[in-house]
Amino acid sequence: MAFFRPRVSREAEVRYHADQEISKSYPELLDKARQAEETLLELRAAAADDIELLAAGRELDRALTGALRAAEAGQRATFGVKAYDDRIARRKARATPDGRMWTDEVDRLRTLREANRLWGIPSVPRPVPTTR
C-alpha cells in the first residue's frame, strides 16, 4: 500500500532558498548593529546634543532592523522547507536546538530594537515654520 506524501509547494522552495541567501549576511549586519550601538553609547557618554543622538539612534534602528530581518530569514531557513506550508512542521522545528537558538536570537533582536525605539531615540521637537 502506497501512502500519499504531499510535496512542498514551489513557492515554499523559492522562499526557502531566498531565506538561505538572506541569512548569509546576518554576521555582517550584526556587526554593523554593534558598531552603531557603540557609536550611540559614545555620543551619550560625550553628552552630545539631541540632533546627533537622534541620527545615531535612527542609524541603530536601521541596523537592528536589518539584522532582525536576516535573523528571521535564518530562522525560517533552519525550520526547513516544509515549515513554510505546514504550521505543525514549523512548531516541531522550533523545538529543535537550532530552531530554539534562532528563535531566541530573533526575540533578543526584537527586544533591543523596541528598547531603542522607546528609550534610545530622543524626541526632538520639529521646527515650527514661520508665517509672514
| Helices 50-79, 97-115: crossing angle, 10 deg rounding | 160
Q: How many other C-beta atoms are found inside a 10 Å radius of the C-beta of residue 12?
A: 17
pLDDT tens digits, one per residue of 68-117: 999 999 999 999 999 998 899 999 999 999 999 999 999 999 999 999 99
Structure confidence by residue, pLDDT tens digits, 29-78:
999 999 999 999 999 999 888 889 999 999 999 999 999 999 999 999 99
Label residue 39 exposed, middle or buried (CB < 10 Å: 0-12, 13-18, 19+). middle
